[in-house]
Structure 1
């Protein structure tokens, strides 16, 4: 269930004295388009579940696991009967670890984990998520620490699996291995922190110590997308947060997120989010004003 929805922004009401929220949910209730800064892990335990995103949808079967990344706009459609685990941990502390920030970028906007596509880690991930649910409900001392340790193990398994996938069927001469992987983690950290600046491929390639051509090949293999697409993903994620702040115009947001023209910003935002920045902004504030009027 959504306890606090302000426009399309959900405030996650964490369990008292923790940064965790978990629902063992049986509600027959659809949830409108919304987003939140917490990561969300969903696993139907009885019947299926349907999630709709800006440009796609995910129909989860019983036992499938969906990881919804922070800032991803999505809606949820529930069947008339069913049950599912909905786990929302804060990743504020975890994202200080560069591996976690990089993994979230790889999984963005969402990733569905099934036994067919992830046969080597699926069973363990399902067990970990089930254990997290049981630990949360029991409320024993040090439960939060125990839960985060299990969440970290989930991230390790998924991250290692992504690394294997990114290196399968590749020319070994372009393999991102050993110390090269750490170089590209540093590059991604730099992009995440400086995405609003005028980042040029030549300059970032120089930072890496590789030629432009070699860097492009290695970066795409490591991140699963091209350099400029990765930069734009980070810029749009930042823009989404700025658009819901009062007083920020679309022009201001575009310039503060590294776009040199409004048209390119609008085009990129719609490509990634399925609506224009103005539509996103109006949707947020329109729903918020409507909620305020209903309370008056």
Structure 2
């Protein structure tokens, strides 16, 4: 069995900017096998309990809990109740938010936690945190607007999703997990680093050295490294590794490529180095990861 990248739903060949539906599960077991897609995804529990594999481990969520799934991150979901259950699903392409922001490269910094496996940010936000906020109402408003399709509903849906996105960013910031961009100095550094972030996303399969990428930002190698650590709270090498491991994870569940072929395609210098890094980050070897997500998790 192979799990491929999920295709974007289209109308007349044009990808939908957002998709929302109620996922209803009858009984206990796998709701959806391991997969990934280009959408940022939000789940909001409605009935009974589920577990999701996300960010290297399994997490439980239930009624009133919210789950945040970054774009292109491998995930699978299991129902834990014999009665099944249900949860709301909202997916949106990054450009739905990007187009609503001012046209500066700082946008990439705000979106970064939603585009990569950023482990500093909380991806499961519990009901106890959310119940006195606007989030439950905004989730319901997205679904109401999409169902009724009154004149201008697309604008309303985009605004509601934008409000959810903003609440999440501010929640992370309040809890000390947001990227550092809240001072003029940090904002300027973030703008300078944006070309490096984009370059790594597009060229992770190539040899990448901080001193070379620093030139894209108009910085010296030492200043670039210090600035990168200051803004992203990780080294440039750690960021490159994180992007490469995320791409490797996708290939493991969507292809029959060997571990060596995946290592080479993702820019790792050797198979042994790839396996060592993968096991350190994912708590399982690449082959164990592949086997786990080609077979339903025992219940």
TM-score, length basis structure 2:
0.72
**2:76 aligned to which of 74, 77, 95:** 74
1:233-254 C-alpha deviation (Å, 9 max, x unpaired): 1112222344456564332221
For residues 21-32 of structure 1, the aligned pairs below 5 Å read 21-27=19-25, 28-31=27-30
Higher RCO, Cα 8 Å, sep 6+: 2
Structure 2 SS opposite 1:236: helix
Q: Tell me, in whole angstroms, the C-alpha distance in 2 between the residues paired with 1:167 and 1:86.
A: 24
Structure 2 CA distance for partners of 1:20 and 1:207, relative to 1, 3 Å: closer
CA contact (8 A) 2:130 2:136 kept: no
The answer for the alignment partner of 1:181 in structure 2 is: 190
- Alignment RMSD: 3.9
Q: Which moved more, 1:151-160 or 1:238-247?
A: 238-247
How many residues matched? 277
In 1, the alpha carbon distance for the partners of 2:184 and 2:224 equals: 11
Trace 1:1-296 onto structure 2 (pairs within 5 A).
Answer: 7-9=2-4, 11=6, 14=9, 18-27=16-25, 28-31=27-30, 33-37=33-37, 38-53=39-54, 55-69=56-70, 70-81=72-83, 82-91=85-94, 98-99=108-109, 101-105=111-115, 108=118, 111-114=123-126, 123-140=133-150, 142-162=152-172, 165=176, 177-209=186-218, 212=221, 214-243=223-252, 248-281=257-290
Q: Which runs of 5+ in 1 are unaligned?
A: 1-5, 288-296
Deviations 1:47-87 (A, max 9, x none): 44332346323233532211012322333334345442122
Q: What is the DSSP-based 3-state SS (H/G/I as helix, E as strand, rest coil) of the residue aligned with 1:21?
A: strand
Report the Cα distance in structure 2 between the residues aligned to 1:178 and 1:255, rounded to whole angstroms: 35
1:294 paired residue number:
none
Q: Which runs of 5+ in 2 are unaligned?
A: 100-106
Quickly say closer, same or farther: Cα 1:14–1:245, change in 2 above 3 A. closer
Compared CA separation, residues 219 and 59, structure 1 to 2 (3 A): same
